[in-house]
Every structure is written in structure tokens, then in C-alpha cells.
Amino acid sequence: MFDYLYDKLDDVQKSIIEKRVKLKTNPFAKINVADAQVLIRPAMYRKVRIGLGKWTDEDEEAYWILEKDSSWMTDPEKAEKVSKLELFPLKMAYYSNDPEQYGKLSFNTPTLGKQAIFPWFKFAAESEVGRQIYNRMNKKGSEIDFLSFDSAVKVGAPQNQVSPYKKGTTTLGEINDVFSKESDHYITASGKIEERSGDVLPVLVQDLKFLRYQLNTQAHSSHERAIGTQMFKISFSNILDKEMYGRGIKGHQPRLGSNVKRSIMSNISLLTKIGA
């Protein structure tokens, strides 16, 4: 309906609408929806949840239905069991500082990752690219446990990375062994990790013992936990730079939105300096 009405407008009306839409959506234009995101294959997600003590018998049953039984969406009984499995993302950090041997020399190599780890189950991989990612991560004998977006790795990222999102890329192919000419390591068909040899998929081998929650303790009980900065961000993003605020309020001088924003940030900076 909107497309039909839009086509009926003249160029001046279209221009007004386009400028207004751009102004309204500007705060969200630079948001990266994959920021600090990691995809984890189902088997590893299950393993981590078990290790954290957050896995029940009901979860186990639902897990195998999800992975092995494609009829669960049309079977009310199975769908009910699956609905009880909470597939929440894992807000975790990875830090290691282990020595690595380079010939006769040994260097400590720090690695730091801060990430939101999302389980990549078969039912979620509906698109062609999604299926390619799922199939490659679960390729028998050559599994990839984590697929990390570069923003999730703060220190110690492989220097040669897969970049399927670059301009002009239309498919991920099979995401097998042909993305990088100079990888740090690669995965053989049998699943062995070996040094670079030709055009192979770059991987970083990590130890699960260095994966931990970003907060090791519960900060507060749920009724005391602050919502953080989220509400501020939502409100702040709705202040329009060129709008006048405060009109119609007795004894109040209207202020430009950009000035209101400047005052708010100035006050936050002052509070930060005095530690309040």
C-alpha cells in the first residue's frame, strides 16, 4: 500500500518524505547488528551449557529433537518440548596469555575475546547462506565450533580472516578451504589442525578452559538490577538535532535538539569525573 501511495506523489513530495525518513532513522544508520557476535555449533553450545551447570534432562530431550527430527514444527507434542529449551546467547569472554614456540624462541601471545555467543541450530539456518554456514560448521571430522565476527576478537585475531561480507561478495560458497592464501592454521579433511599450506581456511585453535562468563558473580538480585544505559540510548536517539524542545511550557525558553544533547552529555561527563 505504501509503495502504491508513494508512486502517486510528485518529486517535491517524495523529496520531503525521503529527507524526513533519513532524519528519523539517522541514529540507527551506523548500528552493526553483528557487533561482537559469535555463532556456535549446536554440539559445542550443549557442551558449554553442561559445563556451566545450565542443562536439564528436558533440555537434552529438546536438543535432540531440534537436531534430528525435522517434524517437530508440525507435531504439537514435540513443539511443546522444544519450546521449553531456552536458547539464550552466552555472554562470555575468552582470555589466554600462553607461551608459543617459534623455532628456538618463545613468546607469550595474549588473546582476548568479548562476545555474545549465539547457537546456530539447523532450524534457524533457513537461507541459502545460513545452510552453508551450518553445514560447514558441522562438517563431520572437520567441525568448526565458533564462527567469530572480527569485532568479537579484541586481541590476538588471526591476521588472515575470512571476509564473506566484503563488497561484491554474493555467496559464501562452501566456506571450505579456499578463502585465504596465507592462513595461520587450517583444518584438514580428517580434522587435524596444521600449519598453513596453500589456500586454506584460517582458524584459531583455543582452549575451553579460558572461556568464562564476563561477570563471574551475580551483581544484584533481579529486582535490584539496573537496566543500564539501554533506556538512555533509546531516549537520546529520539532527540532530533533540528527540532525545538520546550515550546508551550510557561517560563521556559525553547531549545534546539542539538543543544539539549550537548547539555546532557556535558552533565554525564561531569558526573563521571566526580565518580557519582
How large is the average pLDDT for residues 242-258?
A: 86
Three-class secondary structure of residue 70 per DSSP? helix
What is the average pLDDT score of the chain?
Answer: 77
Q: How far is CA 73 from CA 61, 65, 122, in A?
A: 15, 10, 13
Tens of pLDDT along 90-146? 989 999 887 776 667 777 778 888 889 999 998 888 777 788 788 888 888 778 899
pLDDT given at position 224: 54
Q: For residues 27 and 6, what is the distance between their CA atoms, to the nearest angstrom?
A: 24
C-alpha cell at position 92: 562470555
Residue 33 burial class via C-beta count within 10 angstroms: exposed 0-12, middle 13-18, buried 19 and up = exposed
Three-class secondary structure of residue 212 per DSSP? strand
Tens of pLDDT along 157-207? 766 666 665 555 555 554 544 344 444 555 554 556 666 555 556 677 788
pLDDT given at position 249: 80
Per 3-state DSSP, what percentage of the chain is helix, strand, and coil (rounded to 5)?
40, 20, 45
pTM, full prediction: 0.60
Question: What's phi and psi for 194, nearest 5 deg?
Answer: -130, 165
Bigger pLDDT: 158 vs 272: 272
C-alpha cell at position 88: 539464550
Which of 45-59, 177-191, 244-258 is the most confident on average? 45-59
DSSP alpha helices (H): ranges in 39-176? 42-51, 57-68, 76-83, 128-137
pLDDT given at position 174: 43
pLDDT given at position 77: 92
Ordered by start, the domain boundaries in the chain are 37-213, 230-274
Instruction: Name every residue whose Cβ is closer than 8 Å to that of residue 133 and which is 6 or more positions away in sequence.
Output: 39, 120, 125, 147, 172, 175
C-alpha cell at position 176: 571450505
Bigger pLDDT: 269 vs 199: 269
Q: For residues 52 and 246, what is the distance between their CA atoms, to the nearest angstrom?
A: 51
Question: What's phi and psi for 185, nearest 5 deg?
Answer: -140, 170
Least confident of 21-30, 74-83, 116-125, 193-202: 193-202
Bigger pLDDT: 101 vs 261: 261
Bigger pLDDT: 184 vs 247: 247
Three-class secondary structure of residue 165 per DSSP? coil
Contacts 24+ apart (CB under 8 A), 233-237: 236/261, 236/264, 237/27, 237/28
* Residue 45 pLDDT > 70: yes
Confidence of residue 10 (pLDDT cuts 50, 70, 90): confident
Neighbours of 73 (CB within 10 A): 11
Confidence of residue 76 (pLDDT cuts 50, 70, 90): very high
pLDDT given at position 227: 63
